[in-house]
Amino acid sequence: MAAQKPNMKTLDLDGIFNPERIAMIGASANPRKWGFIILLNILKANYRGRVYPINPREASILGYPCYRSLRDLPEKVDMVLITTPAKVVPDLIDECGAQRIPYVIVITSDFSEAGPEGAALERDVVARAEKYGIRLVGPNSMGVFGSKTNLHATMPPVMPIHGNVSMFSQSGNVGVQMLAWGEQEGLGFNKFVSSGNEGDLNCIDYLRYFAEDRDTGVILGYLEGIEPGANLVAEAKKISRKKPILVFKGGRTEAGGKAAASHSAAMAGENEIFRAAFRQSGMVEVKTSQALMDCAKAFSHYPLPRGNRVGIITRGGGWGVITADFCEENGLVVPPLPEKIIKKFNQILPKYWSHGNPVDLVATISHDPYPECLEILSRWEGIDAIIALGAGRRGFTYRYSKDVTGPQEVMDAIRMASTFIEQRNQIPDEMLKGVRQLIVKSKKPIIVVAIGSEKSHKLNLADYQVVSYPTPERAVRVLWQMYKYSRFLNSPQDERKF
Amino acid sequence: MAAQKPNMKTLDLDGIFNPERIAMIGASANPRKWGFIILLNILKANYRGRVYPINPREASILGYPCYRSLRDLPEKVDMVLITTPAKVVPDLIDECGAQRIPYVIVITSDFSEAGPEGAALERDVVARAEKYGIRLVGPNSMGVFGSKTNLHATMPPVMPIHGNVSMFSQSGNVGVQMLAWGEQEGLGFNKFVSSGNEGDLNCIDYLRYFAEDRDTGVILGYLEGIEPGANLVAEAKKISRKKPILVFKGGRTEAGGKAAASHSAAMAGENEIFRAAFRQSGMVEVKTSQALMDCAKAFSHYPLPRGNRVGIITRGGGWGVITADFCEENGLVVPPLPEKIIKKFNQILPKYWSHGNPVDLVATISHDPYPECLEILSRWEGIDAIIALGAGRRGFTYRYSKDVTGPQEVMDAIRMASTFIEQRNQIPDEMLKGVRQLIVKSKKPIIVVAIGSEKSHKLNLADYQVVSYPTPERAVRVLWQMYKYSRFLNSPQDERKF
């Protein structure tokens, strides 16, 4: 195991994620082979380094000259990708060793996930790699992504947004789909690895590497199992102090554990042991795939709340009620407004405002008091975070039917009203800029909620660095996780527990 | 209270939701007044009936001749909308009474939600209405929607899809936004009412009406409070036997209850009492706004599962694990596959398939065994429902960068691969048709999961009557609610409990 090696104090995996020269053994001219598809994925994403296809039976693939073997390359490469059938992989490792290749990614499957024979083959591959000091990703990996050199060496052509989130995944599918989903949601990734069977490098190694990696701000992990010897708690405890680790554990139940055992070679451990490990080491365990996505956005863009007191501001009473309920049911507190803050709102709002927290504005068509109210709320020292309902872009649009007939006046009025509605639907530029400024000024997370379309949420994040969700409940769940992590960081070192 | 009136055995509110002739008192030529905005909303949505604006100071509004009073109308109307200031409403009720108007919707606010004075005014309004036998929506209502005559008498211009879901909401904002959100998600509504202060008609009345309404298949309610005298359990118990009632209760906590009290006149009751009432009467209580939306889609389109045993089929191991975990953590069971079913799959699938439930297919590019496998699974009598991961449209698209440069061969390959990917991304027409057929044939709900965009989910529902969600966890939560309701229906009548 990597963690037991003496030379692994700082684990340099740059050659896997940011290689400048790579070779692909098993490169293919057959569009149905992974050796073609992954090569194309690398090329089409404008990889910034040089890539050398290796295939003794082809002169060129995709217009790139093809080489017979590693020995024939014009320069030394940082990393080798292997997509050949399993049985030739051990010899290829020898070849990589002879050429002093430091990193090899084995995409090839049919190893330990496929039964005892495959397991024996995998042991052989790993033993040879160890002999040469080669660090191995996989086997049975769906590939890697690195934003620095634009390396998209994954099976499906995903085009992640670039950001500061790095992820390891013990399920290739869950991993690559998080990248694709993240693109829709506005979540940017820095690095990604599908860890496959973890014959050599395992998720703790990736954790340690991401921890030292300056470009990584938040670590995401989809985990199914860890080898019994791995010291997850000790490693994660150190890392959690530096940056948040968001972890989603598959195989929590008997049915899930069985399913995990059938598709990956990792051993799913006892759920209670994992849960305790996460708690003790300050890892942020999420319980749903949506929460993994949602938390990643907020942790990578927002300051942590210092406590669990939430201010709620809303344009409609019911949504404020729903938000307050969900806060109080999930470990957050919605404190009452003190008299001095009520007085401040009284000066701005019509007399029928809620006079409490949630701050329920009274709708006025002429003037929008929202930005001013949000600022007052953000300055109140009695809260640690804000949920701002109806700030920013709408997730849906109010609109008029297109096939209306009627008197000219109706048509004119519809045109006028449509223009008005369009203005209201348009990017509330100043509002979102204001939200971001208040976050910076108050050092409090202000999470926006707007019912509907993920498109608006992606733009809020991309254009204004404002995190928003389509329901208040998702905002509450994220805030609760941020609060728990903040509490972990602020508790005395020897008592730290999530 | 309505429920105590002897003549209310069957409650006919057709004139509120399907009126053929309506009048609007307070109709206005001023685009900033609700009397203009709501009138425009009615006209622009191609209301199928006739609408008469009433305003003594205008000759015409929006090109429609304006009338001085109800007395001057050329024909009797079914329903009157009032948007005037509060203080004139009592006299207007007298006027409606004199003209034998059966239904009045009072949009006007400043009644009991605004303090003691408003409460006195509201009592006056209600007493006069009762004297004439007028049934009253509101006051302080955000309006109604009825699909039969295309009546869009709501404050914001929402354009709901037509369907078989009818909703009452004690928060106008929550209600209208559910309609707008539903349009995005593909959820169709039949009727909607923002019940406002419930001076006369209350949510139990709407429940009873929706129960008898042939066009309503599923009842949705956002509830904050009910008058102490209302017999929710007794009414709902009868109705739950006929059609599902999905209820979302605001004001479950102290903070939420306070917020509810500040914006609506309804009294938020003790949470435990409500919870017990929901359980005893078979109402389906959801805990999040998302669950209300999700459940509405499934309950209105799918048969109920007979039990809690779930079959899972997936194209990627990790998502199967996640789904199985969430099932078992939330009251559902993922039974192991019996030998005879395993044998059937063995005949179709490559040897490395999961040999269990979840059924994890092995990806093949050439042939997609998914439809065949789904059919086998649906025929297995050991399960009551299916979660089908990766069936149907993708929520996101795999794609290639547009600004790639490289040798001609790369460009050609990208074109070719893009075409291939587009084909895979395209509507899997046969697949979705097949899913619907299997639902009909097996009488089991088959819920599809596809990560990402709500657009694909809307189309799955609109084009194929297939319910899909962007995460497996949402599918599981819905199935659990369907199972609980099914159990309620199937238990002996005197023991029925949710």
Q: What is the mean pLDDT of residues B449-477?
A: 92
Contact A479, A310 (CB under 8 A): yes
A267 has pLDDT over 70:
no
Q: What is the mean pLDDT of residues A299-319?
A: 95
Percentage, residues of chain A above pLDDT 90: 68
Question: How many angstroms from the chain centroid is the CA of residue B333?
Answer: 27
CATH code, A304-393+428-490:
3.40.50.261
The pLDDT value recorded for residue B2 is 41
- Under 8 Å CB-to-CB from B319, ≥6 apart: which residues? A171, A173, A174, A177, B389, B390, B449, B472
Percentage, residues of chain B above pLDDT 90: 68
Residue A187 distance to chain B (closest CA, Å): 13
Q: What is the mean pLDDT of residues B450-479?
A: 92
- List CB contacts (< 8 A) between A180 and chain B: 396, 398, 451-452
Neighbours of B46 (CB within 10 A): 14
Closest CA to B121 of B94, B139, B147: B139
Residue B92 distance to chain A (closest CA, Å): 25
What length does chain A have?
498
Contact B159, B174 (CB under 8 A): no
Nearest to B325 among A62, A250, A325 (CB): A250
Query: 3-state class of B173 per DSSP?
Result: helix
Parallel, antiparallel, or unpaired for β A359-360 and A284-286? unpaired
Domain with CATH 3.40.50.261 in chain A: 2-299, 304-393+428-490
CA separation for the pair A153, A172 (Å, rounded):
12
Neighbours of A58 (CB within 10 A): 18
Residue A471 distance to chain B (closest CA, Å): 7
Phi-psi region of A152 (alpha: psi -120 to 50; beta: other; left: phi over 0): beta
Most A CBs within 10 A among B140, B185, B321, hence the mutation to make, goes to B321
CA separation for the pair A52, A55 (Å, rounded):
10
Domain with CATH 3.40.50.261 in chain B: 2-299, 303-393+428-490
- List CB contacts (< 8 A) between A270 and chain B: none
CA separation for the pair B144, B109 (Å, rounded):
15
A411 has pLDDT over 50:
yes
Q: What is the mean pLDDT of residues A74-87?
A: 96
The yes or no reply on domain B303-393+428-490 and CATH 3.40.50.261 is: yes
Q: E strands, B59-125, where?
A: 60-61, 64-65, 79-82, 103-106
Q: What is the mean pLDDT of chain B?
A: 89
* pLDDT tens-digit series, residues B45-54: 889 999 999 9
ipTM attached to this prediction: 0.92
Q: What is the mean pLDDT of residues A94-119?
A: 94
Percentage, residues of chain B above pLDDT 70: 90
Tokens standing for residue A301: 């863009």
pLDDT band at B455, cuts 50/70/90?
A: confident
B145 has pLDDT over 90:
yes
- Say yes or no for a CB contact (<8 Å) between A259 and B321: yes
- Say yes or no for a CB contact (<8 Å) between B398 and A180: yes
Q: What is the mean pLDDT of residues B116-128?
A: 96
Q: What is the mean pLDDT of residues A229-258?
A: 88
Nearest to B406 among A63, A250, A288 (CB): A63
* pLDDT tens-digit series, residues A367-406: 678 999 999 999 999 999 999 998 877 766 666 666 666 6
Q: Which of A493-497, B165-169, B376-380 has the lowest average pLDDT?
A: A493-497
- Say yes or no for a CB contact (<8 Å) between A159 and B399: yes
- List CB contacts (< 8 A) between B308 and chain A: none
Q: What is the dihedral of CA B13, B15, B18, B23, to 10 degrees?
A: -140
Contact B487, B480 (CB under 8 A): no
Contact A179, A168 (CB under 8 A): no
DSSP B463: H
Residues forming beta bridges with residue B161, ordered by sequence position: B188
Q: Which of A209-218, A439-448, B108-117 has the lowest average pLDDT?
A: B108-117
* pLDDT tens-digit series, residues B305-322: 999 999 999 988 899 999
Query: 3-state class of A103 per DSSP?
Result: strand
Residue A144 distance to chain B (closest CA, Å): 16
- Say yes or no for a CB contact (<8 Å) between B407 and A62: yes
Give the helix/strand (H/E) hosting A430: helix A429-442
Tokens standing for residue B477: 């939560």
- Residue B383: exposed, middle, or buried by beta-carbon count in 10 A (0-12, 13-18, 19+)? buried
**Which chain B residue has the Cα nearest residue A34?**
B365
Q: What is the mean pLDDT of residues A324-348?
A: 95
Q: Report pTM.
A: 0.93
Contact B79, B15 (CB under 8 A): yes
- Under 8 Å CB-to-CB from A473, ≥6 apart: which residues? A322, A326, B288, B289, B290
Residue showing tokens 């089929």:
B313
Neighbours of A198 (CB within 10 A): 30
Residue B5 distance to chain A (closest CA, Å): 30
A4 has pLDDT over 80:
no
Phi and psi of B399, rounded to 5°?
Answer: -160, 170
Query: 3-state class of B399 per DSSP?
Result: coil
pLDDT band at A31, cuts 50/70/90?
A: confident
CA separation for the pair B263, B112 (Å, rounded):
10
Nearest to A319 among B173, B336, B357 (CB): B173
User: Domain B2-299 belongs to what architecture?
Assistant: 3-Layer(aba) Sandwich (3.40)
